Amino acid sequence: MKLSQLLLQREAMLRQARLANLAFAYWHLDRLVARIAGAGLRGTVCLQPADPAVERLWPLLTALDGSQSVIEEHFTDENILELADLVGFVTGEEMVEATFRLEDMAAKYLQPLRHKLEQAGIDVEASAHRRAEPRTDHREG
């Protein structure tokens, strides 16, 4: 492929990458929302980003009402890190503290992703995105 051809395709490729990242985030967040609903988790939580300045090397998910031990039982450090990444991606604001109700996650975070995908002409099938396992390539902007 010639450099000039690649440059001509740049905008379309960037759009495809953005849509792929939206789909990747949607799929992961949908799985997490389904898992939370299946476990019957409810209540307000606070998601705090990692902050090395205060010696917090991992994001924290803290129960503001309900039991912290239930949160710890259902969320590994990796789950919380993934959630922090997803919330940052959806909101466009990484490293921001977020307070929300677990049962409202679909409306607050999943629906905006779905709306963006549908606006771009992507058909979000309820059954298909739970079956398909995406490759875990790195997300970009």
Q: Give me the percent of the chain exceeding a pLDDT of 90.
A: 68
Q: Reply yes or no on whether the pLDDT at 4 is more than 80.
A: yes
pLDDT in tens, 44-73: 999 999 988 988 899 999 999 989 999 999
119 domain-assigned: yes
In a domain, 35, yes or no: yes
* Closest by CA position to 61, among listed 50, 46, 74: 46
16 within domain boundaries: no
Question: Where is pLDDT greater, at 117 or 140?
Answer: 117
Q: Does 38 map to a domain?
A: yes
CA dist 120 and 122 (Å) reads 6
pLDDT digits (tens, 9 = 90+) for 113-139: 999 999 999 998 764 445 455 555 544
Tell me whether residue 116 is in a domain.
yes
Q: What's the mean pLDDT in 100-112? A: 95
State residue 134's pLDDT score. Answer: 53
Residue 13 within a domain = no
Tokens 């970009």 appear where?
Answer: 140
The predicted-structure confidence for 6-52, as pLDDT tens digits, reads as follows 899 999 999 999 999 999 999 999 999 999 999 999 999 999 999 88
* Cα–Cα separations (whole angstroms), residue 90 to 6, 53, 75, 105, 113: 29, 25, 20, 11, 7
The answer to whether residue 44 sits within a structural domain is yes
Structural domains of the chain, count: 1
Q: What is residue 141's predicted lDDT score, i.e. its pLDDT?
A: 45
What pLDDT score does 127 carry? Answer: 43
- Domain encompassing residue 30: 26-131
In a domain, 9, yes or no: no
Give the CA dihedral 116, 100, 94, 131, nearest 10 degrees: -50
Is residue 21 within 8 A of residue 141, CB to CB? The reply is: yes
| pLDDT the model gives residue 133 | 52
How much is the pLDDT for 135? 52
